């Protein structure tokens, strides 16, 4: 109908998480910025420094979501992927500790339609708690590699969504707390 | 003979929360330390930046309560430029701020603080979470919370440009007026919000107050500390989240201090411990007496219960009635039970909703004159608001061009840091010894003390560590680690 506006929410979301003022915590944001023009219209690329239950607003209505975030490695710094197909124990004691697990629990319990797939790409960082608008040099150097990795994930999704027989996903595994049970470790930076 | 424990400075925390518990020779707890990382380098980061950027910069410190920083910063700019905002601008700011407080408090009660009461402190671990709460109150209530939250955030975005990192506050006013065509919507949402807040109280009464076990948990000595309390009050000593003076009462509930934001350095000092980056605020005149409570100790508390204790009433009728009920049940004012913060939060929900409705219906709220342009040369400004978790203060100093030369923030968690440390230590001493330390029970009891304060360490955004990023280590008298619990 003429003049009618149709609201369309793109099914795939790439969401960079991070605080641009907290040095290496900006890593997820910087990767998302790099991907801004990388994909066709089915993919929306955004970034946010909001967390907790606010992430719920980002996820409602999406089919697949790639979260790009940072983590502090205990050993060798390497990109990590977490696949949250299954729901695990929810432990958040207060709003500042709500993460994707709690959001998933909430959305499922309230039948709000958690995305079919949520994956997290985690970038190893050194210092996410000092105020600085510049990342550590070696973390900044990881941004292109992380963007490539994210791009491959999304393009796999796009290929799967083309009209053909869908690929079988790996069986869902329970996710317990913060320990991923299914992860793909990419060596090197 | 107990061993003297020396805390090696290198055990200072990097990363997320940590609790260190030290046992004496007899296997009893000699001391427990709660460590929260403090964000470092803020003052250097902002030096040289235009002060007018601070409401945008500081709203990015915390991804959960950006509006609180935004508003405290805006008020600091008012003070910095010696500019008085028009009445409608103050009303708009206060209205948006109450919308934010209502949304945040609702979120905390239903999804986070709720497990301690709606499900129960002794409930199995698998139920002490969001799902457990929804199991008790029902999915429809949960959906109502999410829907209410979205409605409220949409209104904030209408006035502030976006729900997060709003561009609402300016020195001397706000960025845009409320369109008369939108006023009816604000009133309608506010009316539903009052109804929802009262429903929340009814839920609390039904599920918590009628359960003696829960009431006993709230009033237990283990979670009780007799400290001073601080909160913002209006001219009638009633709770106000947006503006007023800071009032402090002693452990007996008598007024001890009443001061403006600018006077905070005369009242509040910071104590440093070698085992923590977090500085511990205390009342300067009383002095730092260590981690002890009582009338001689300078330790004080902020947040919902403290605000009720530090005030003489609520400015709206249904909130006042709810406040009176709380004090009647818990033995009168002041209430020293840390877990009563959850109940006080509901009282504040009712006030926030009623105040929101009052302001939305005010004919003056649509006045288009929303800003007074500042003309004074800036030098120093202090702004304070009551964040959901307690008093939040921003202090800026600038050169004549308005570029920051110094900044200091005192956030709610800093105000509460000493009392949180007391809570953790007291619970550990009451429960733990070398023989009976139980992973499950220990973590839950510690979590309950931790949860009531809802500490914010503002470490930015993370998808995964939603599971509590807290490590608890138990050490013997020589400092050797006996056990470490984390989840």
- Cβ of residue B469 closer than 8 Å to a chain A Cβ: yes
Evaluate if residue A171 carries a pLDDT over 70. no
How far is the C-alpha of A152 from the C-alpha of B412, rounded, in Å?
43
**A110-A116-A117 Cα angle (round to 5):** 115
pLDDT for the residue A180? 34
What mean pLDDT comes out for the span B297-320? Answer: 97
The answer to whether the CB atoms of A96 and B455 lie below 8 A apart is yes
The answer to whether the CB atoms of A93 and B468 lie below 8 A apart is yes
Burial B287-318 (b: 16+ CB within 10 A, else e): ebeebebeeebbbbbbbbbbbbbbbebbbbeb
Residue B459 has its nearest CB partner, among A91, A122, A128, at: A128
DSSP letters for B64-112: S-HHHHHHHHHHHHHHHTT-PPPHHHHHHHHHHHHHHHHHHHHHHIIII
How far is the C-alpha of B412 from the C-alpha of B401, rounded, in Å?
30
CA B478 centroid distance within chain: 37
pLDDT over 70 for what percent of chain B?
A: 85
Q: Could you tell me the pLDDT band of residue B421, with boundaries at 50, 70 and 90?
A: confident
Q: Could you tell me the pLDDT band of residue A65, with boundaries at 50, 70 and 90?
A: very high
DSSP letters for B164-205: SS---EETTEESSPPPHHHHHHHHHHHHHHHHHHHHHHHHHI
Residues in chain B within 8 Å Cβ distance of A95: 64, 104, 107-108, 111-112, 454
Contact A99, B467 (CB under 8 A): yes
> Residue A165: is it exposed, middle or buried by C-beta count within 10 angstroms (0-12/13-18/19+)?
exposed
Backbone angles phi, psi at B171, to 5 degrees: -65, 120
Report CA torsion sign: B10, A77, A124, A75. Answer: negative
Q: DSSP H helical segments within chain A, as ranges?
A: 27-34, 54-59, 100-109, 137-140, 143-160
pLDDT over 90 for what percent of chain B?
A: 56
What mean pLDDT comes out for the span B93-107? Answer: 94
Q: Whole-angstrom distance between the N-terminal and C-terminal Cα of chain A?
A: 52
Evaluate if residue B442 carries a pLDDT over 80. no
Q: What is the pLDDT of residues B314-361, one digit of tens each?
A: 999 999 999 999 999 999 999 999 999 999 999 999 999 999 999 999
**A88-B482-B22 Cα angle (round to 5):** 105
Q: Mind telling me how many Å the CA of B4 is from chain A's nearest CA?
A: 31
| Beta pairing, strands B280-283 & B300-301 | unpaired
Element containing residue B361 per DSSP (H, E): helix B341-361
The answer to whether the CB atoms of B104 and A18 lie below 8 A apart is no
What mean pLDDT comes out for the span B94-114? Answer: 88
The number of C-beta contacts closer than 8 angstroms across A and B is 190
Evaluate if residue A172 carries a pLDDT over 50. no
Q: Could you tell me the pLDDT band of residue B105, with boundaries at 50, 70 and 90?
A: very high
Q: What is the pLDDT of residues B254-290, one digit of tens each?
A: 999 999 999 999 999 999 887 776 788 999 999 999 9
Evaluate if residue B107 carries a pLDDT over 90. no
Q: Mind telling me how many Å the CA of B118 is from chain A's nearest CA?
A: 14
Contact B19, B34 (CB under 8 A): yes
What mean pLDDT comes out for the span B221-246? Answer: 97
Cis peptide bond N-terminal to A17, omega within 30 = no
Residues 23 through 62 of chain B touching chain A, CB cutoff 8 Å: 37, 39-42, 44-46, 57, 60-62
pLDDT for the residue B53? 94
Contact B46, B54 (CB under 8 A): yes
């Amino acid at each position: 109908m003429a003049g009618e506006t149709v609201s369309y929410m793109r099914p795939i979301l790439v969401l960079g998480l991070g605080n641009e003022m907290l040095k290496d915590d900006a890593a997820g944001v910087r990767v998302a910025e790099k991907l801004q023009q990388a994909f066709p219209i089915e993919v929306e690329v955004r970034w946010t420094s909001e967390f907790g239950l606010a992430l719920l607003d980002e996820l409602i209505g999406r089919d697949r979501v790639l979260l790009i975030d940072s983590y502090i490695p205990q050993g060798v710094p390497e990109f990590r992927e977490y696949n949250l197909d299954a729901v695990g124990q929810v432990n958040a004691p207060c709003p500042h500790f709500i993460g994707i697990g709690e959001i998933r629990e909430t959305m499922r319990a309230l039948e709000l339609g958690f995305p079919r797939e949520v994956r997290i790409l985690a970038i190893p960082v050194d210092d996410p708690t000092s105020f600085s608008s510049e990342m550590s040099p070696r973390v900044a150097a990881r941004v292109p590699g992380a963007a490539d990795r994210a791009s491959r994930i999304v393009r796999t999704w796009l290929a799967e969504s083309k009209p053909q027989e869908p690929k079988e996903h790996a069986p869902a595994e329970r996710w317990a707390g913060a320990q991923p049970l299914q992860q793909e470790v990419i060596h090197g930076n | 003979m107990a061993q003297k424990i020396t805390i090696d400075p290198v055990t200072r925390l990097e990363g997320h929360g940590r609790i260190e518990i030290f046992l004496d020779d007899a296997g009893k707890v000699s001391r427990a330390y709660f460590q929260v990382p403090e964000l470092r380098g803020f003052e250097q980061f902002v030096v040289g930046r235009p002060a007018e950027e601070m409401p945008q910069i500081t709203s990015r410190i915390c991804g959960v309560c950006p509006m609180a920083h935004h508003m405290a910063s805006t008020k600091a700019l008012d003070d910095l430029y010696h500019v008085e905002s028009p009445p409608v601008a103050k009303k708009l700011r206060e209205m948006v701020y109450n919308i934010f407080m209502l949304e945040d408090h609702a979120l905390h009660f239903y999804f986070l603080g709720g497990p301690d009461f709606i499900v129960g402190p002794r409930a199995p671990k698998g139920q002490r979470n969001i799902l457990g709460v929804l199991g008790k109150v029902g999915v429809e209530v949960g959906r109502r919370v999410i829907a209410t939250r979205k409605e409220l955030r949409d209104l904030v975005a209408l006035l502030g440009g976006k729900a997060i990192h709003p561009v609402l506050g300016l020195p001397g006013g706000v960025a845009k007026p409320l369109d008369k065509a939108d006023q009816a919507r604000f009133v309608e949402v506010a009316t539903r919000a009052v109804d929802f807040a009262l429903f929340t109280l009814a839920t609390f009464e039904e599920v918590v107050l009628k359960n003696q076990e829960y009431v006993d948990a709230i009033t237990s000595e283990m979670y009780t500390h007799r400290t001073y309390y601080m909160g913002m009050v209006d001219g009638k000593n009633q709770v106000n989240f947006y503006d007023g003076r800071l009032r402090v009462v002693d452990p007996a509930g008598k007024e001890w201090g009443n001061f403006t934001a600018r006077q905070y350095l005369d009242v509040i000092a910071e104590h440093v411990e070698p085992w923590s980056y977090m500085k511990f605020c205390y009342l300067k005149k009383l002095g730092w007496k260590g981690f002890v409570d009582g009338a001689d100790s300078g330790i004080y508390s902020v947040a919902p219960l403290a605000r009720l204790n530090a005030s003489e009433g609520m400015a709206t009728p249904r909130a006042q009635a709810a406040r009176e009920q709380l004090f009647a049940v818990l033995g009168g004012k002041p209430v020293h039970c840390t877990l009563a913060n959850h109940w006080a939060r509901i009282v504040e929900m009712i006030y926030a909703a009623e105040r929101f409705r009052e302001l939305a219906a005010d004919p003056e709220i649509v006045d288009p004159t929303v800003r007074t342009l500042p003309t004074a040369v800036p030098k120093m400004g202090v702004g304070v608001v009551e964040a959901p978790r307690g008093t939040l203060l921003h202090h800026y100093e600038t050169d004549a061009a308005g570029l920051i030369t110094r900044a200091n923030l005192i956030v709610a968690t800093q105000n509460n840091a000493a009392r949180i440390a007391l809570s953790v230590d007291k619970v550990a001493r009451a429960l733990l010894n070398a023989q009976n330390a139980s992973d499950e029970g220990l973590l839950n009891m510690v979590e309950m003390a931790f949860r009531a304060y809802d500490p914010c360490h503002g470490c930015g955004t993370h998808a995964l560590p939603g599971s509590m990023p807290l490590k608890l280590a138990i050490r013997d008298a020589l400092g050797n680690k006996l056990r470490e619990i984390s989840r």
